């Protein structure tokens, strides 16, 4: 019987009562499990805010650690009656909170936050939730035991803030956690550098942790328990008749996750695609005692020749470099991006024409990127302008690759709705096309394109 990796996210842990429900879910499996957990809902945000407050006040670390101890002890006592068990778990939590306090006091006194210190601090929430969830799983009858990423040797590339796992090394090291004797409970969100420091995988990175473990142990599946009905054909907050998509390919899931769908961390599919390990997306709010996936993510097993979904993000901006022939002259793009690379600013995408180069950035990087590009002396570039009130619409489905005329239907639906298209990009992914519109047109564009999806 194959092992299954089960991941419970912060959306499953909004209140102390949610922990017991997650334990019931885990107990319903017949297969041996590895359980990956996120921090309790809101805790990571508290830690991020705590960094800012610690820079200003030497009392802030005490206040934060006291709040966190109260939150986690209350959750523990709600579910565990044995004082011996409570005492053992609280001893672990207090040690970790003491370490957190030292780190926060350190940044207060040096008035700086080194990258590795920040990663250690913001990953504390997972190390606080895991011992509690392990205790509740033991109460539910599982032989659960916390195993830390640093103990199992979950190695990363050492990029603080947005690390990637070393999949080859992880496959060697993590296979040792496969045992029928225990149910490992692993804090998600982070791994370690070769020097032993903590490096996080970015917000939502517990999905990625679970995927790395699933690949390393060649799991039967990765089961993600969320508070949504899997992947939907559109954002239900905007599109009332959106429908659950029973099956999406790895490519389709990656595109939807990157451009707005909050179901998966965008890189979750990376470790799993080569070995064809399926991702099963469940809704914990709909759990009735049976393990029932709403969406399965797997290989491109069939050509549906349709559009699957439309998603949007408003967290991007464009910087446009304009000048005669800038899109065709060799070396201009390289010259323009040298300073960005030196500043550690990521370019999300590039769209070029004969007279302009359009660079897409996350909004948080826009001010720095604009300053860098305006300070560069790039030949032939006569103006550097920014566009920030935009939305990127991702239209996803293998029909774009296999069905002639489908893209034309999408553009036609936008024209019928009176929606102006600022930029488009197609071909970078065979299963997705990207349409950039004014932010004020986001909802109209999503509805118009969804009608095309609904018509099939």
Nearby residues of 232 by Cβ (< 8 Å), 6 or more positions away? 242, 243, 244, 245, 261, 309
pLDDT tens profile 63-85: 999 999 999 999 999 999 999 99
Q: What confidence score (pLDDT) does residue 128 get?
A: 98
CATH 3.30.2130.10 intervals, the chain: 302-456
Q: What sign results for the dihedral spanned by CA atoms 257, 260, 265, 266?
A: positive
Residue where the block lists tokens 């010259």: 335
Identify which has the larger pLDDT, 338 or 196: 196
Q: What's the half-sphere exposure (Cβ side, CA atoms, 13 Å) at 358?
A: 15
Q: What confidence score (pLDDT) does residue 92 get?
A: 98
Q: What confidence score (pLDDT) does residue 12 get?
A: 76
Strands (E), 78-118: none
Phi/psi for 242 (5° steps) reads: -65, 150
- Tell me if 228 is assigned to a ligand binding site: no
Q: What confidence score (pLDDT) does residue 389 get?
A: 93
What class is the 4-298 domain?
alpha beta
pLDDT tens profile 26-56: 999 999 999 999 999 999 999 999 999 999 9
pLDDT tens profile 409-435: 999 999 999 999 999 987 678 888 999
Confidence of residue 259 (pLDDT cuts 50, 70, 90): confident
Residue 402 above 80 pLDDT?
Answer: no
- Tell me if 195 is assigned to a ligand binding site: no
* Long-range CB pairs of 243-247, under 8 A, 24+ apart, other chains included: 244/294, 244/295, 245/295, 245/308, 245/309, 246/294, 246/295, 246/296, 247/295, 247/296, 247/297, 247/298, 247/301
Question: Rounded to whole angstroms, how far apart are CA atoms 63 and 71?
Answer: 13
Question: Rounded to whole angstroms, how far apart are CA atoms 248 and 441?
Answer: 27
CATH architecture under which domain 302-456 falls: 2-Layer Sandwich (3.30)
Identify which has the larger pLDDT, 329 or 105: 105
Q: What confidence score (pLDDT) does residue 310 get?
A: 92
Q: Measuring CA to CA, how many Å separate 370 from each of 315, 342, 343, 439?
A: 16, 14, 12, 20
| Closest to 209 (Cα-Cα) out of 434, 425, 34 | 34
Q: Using only the alpha carbons of the chain, give its radius of gyration.
A: 24
pTM above threshold 0.75? yes
Residue 399 above 90 pLDDT?
Answer: no
| Closest to 108 (Cα-Cα) out of 51, 160, 36 | 51
Question: Rounded to whole angstroms, how far apart are CA atoms 324 and 380?
Answer: 6
pLDDT tens profile 136-187: 999 999 999 999 999 999 999 999 999 999 999 999 999 877 776 899 999 9
Paired tokens of 165: 């796992």
Residue 275 above 90 pLDDT?
Answer: yes
Confirm if 437 and 419 have CB atoms less than 8 A apart.
yes
Residue 441 above 90 pLDDT?
Answer: yes
Paired tokens of 255: 């595109």
Q: What confidence score (pLDDT) does residue 407 get?
A: 86
Question: Rounded to whole angstroms, how far apart are CA atoms 106 and 101?
Answer: 8
Paired tokens of 206: 């517990």
pLDDT tens profile 302-334: 666 688 999 999 999 999 989 887 777 777 888
Q: Which helix (H) or strand (E) holds 281?
A: strand 279-283
pLDDT tens profile 211-243: 999 999 999 999 999 988 999 999 889 999 999
Question: Rounded to whole angstroms, how far apart are CA atoms 395 and 252?
Answer: 10
Q: What confidence score (pLDDT) does residue 372 get?
A: 92
Q: What sign results for the dihedral spanned by CA atoms 149, 153, 159, 164?
A: negative
Residue where the block lists tokens 């990656």: 254
- Tell me if 237 is assigned to a ligand binding site: yes
Confidence of residue 349 (pLDDT cuts 50, 70, 90): confident
Residue where the block lists tokens 């999408």: 410
- Tell me if 197 is assigned to a ligand binding site: no
CATH 3.40.1160.10 intervals, the chain: 4-298
């Amino acid at each position: 019987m194959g092992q299954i990796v089960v991941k419970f996210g912060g959306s499953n842990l909004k209140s102390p009562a949610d922990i017991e429900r997650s334990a019931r879910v885990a107990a319903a499996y017949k297969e041996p499990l590895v359980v990956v957990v996120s921090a309790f809902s809101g805790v990571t945000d508290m830690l991020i805010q705590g960094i800012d407050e610690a820079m200003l006040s030497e009392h802030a670390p005490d206040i934060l650690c006291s709040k966190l101890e109260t939150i986690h002890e209350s959750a523990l006592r709600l579910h565990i009656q044995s004082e011996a068990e409570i005492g053992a778990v609280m001893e672990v939590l207090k040690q970790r909170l003491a370490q957190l306090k030292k780190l926060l006091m350190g940044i207060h006194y040096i008035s700086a936050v080194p990258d590795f210190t920040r990663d250690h601090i913001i990953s504390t929430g997972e190390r606080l939730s895991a011992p509690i969830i392990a205790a509740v799983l033991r109460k539910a009858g599982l032989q659960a035991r916390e195993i830390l990423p640093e103990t199992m040797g979950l190695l990363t590339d050492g990029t603080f803030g947005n690390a990637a796992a070393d999949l080859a090394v992880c496959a060697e090291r993590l296979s040792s956690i496969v045992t029928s004797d225990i149910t490992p409970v692993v804090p998600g969100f982070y791994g370690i550098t070769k020097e032993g420091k903590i490096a996080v995988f970015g917000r939502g990175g517990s999905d990625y942790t679970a995927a790395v473990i699933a690949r390393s142990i060649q799991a039967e599946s990765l089961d993600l328990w969320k508070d949504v009905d899997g992947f939907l054909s559109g954002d239900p907050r905007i599109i009332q008749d959106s429908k659950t998509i029973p099956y999406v390919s790895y490519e389709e899931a990656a595109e939807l996750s990157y451009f707005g769908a909050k179901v998966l961390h965008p890189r979750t599919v990376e470790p799993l695609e080569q070995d064809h390990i399926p991702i099963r997306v469940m809704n914990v709010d709909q759990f009735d005692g049976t393990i029932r996936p709403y969406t399965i993510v797997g290989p491109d097993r069939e050509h549906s020749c349709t559009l699957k979904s439309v998603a949007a993000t408003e967290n991007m901006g464009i910087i446009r470099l304009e000048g005669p022939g800038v899109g065709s002259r060799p070396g201009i793009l390289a010259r323009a991006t040298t300073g960005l690379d030196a500043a550690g600013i990521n370019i999300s995408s590039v769209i070029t024409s004969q007279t302009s180069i359009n660079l897409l950035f996350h909004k948080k990087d826009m001010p720095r990127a604009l300053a860098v590009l305006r300070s560069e002396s790039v030949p032939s570039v006569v103006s550097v302008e920014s566009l920030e009130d935009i939305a990127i619409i991702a239209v996803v489905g293998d029909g774009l690759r296999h069905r002639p005329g489908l893209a034309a239907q999408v553009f036609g639906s936008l024209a019928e709705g009176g929606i102006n298209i600022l930029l488009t990009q197609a071909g970078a992914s065979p299963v997705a096309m990207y349409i950039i519109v004014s932010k004020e047109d986001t909802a109209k564009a999503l509805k118009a394109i969804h009608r095309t999806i609904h018509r099939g």
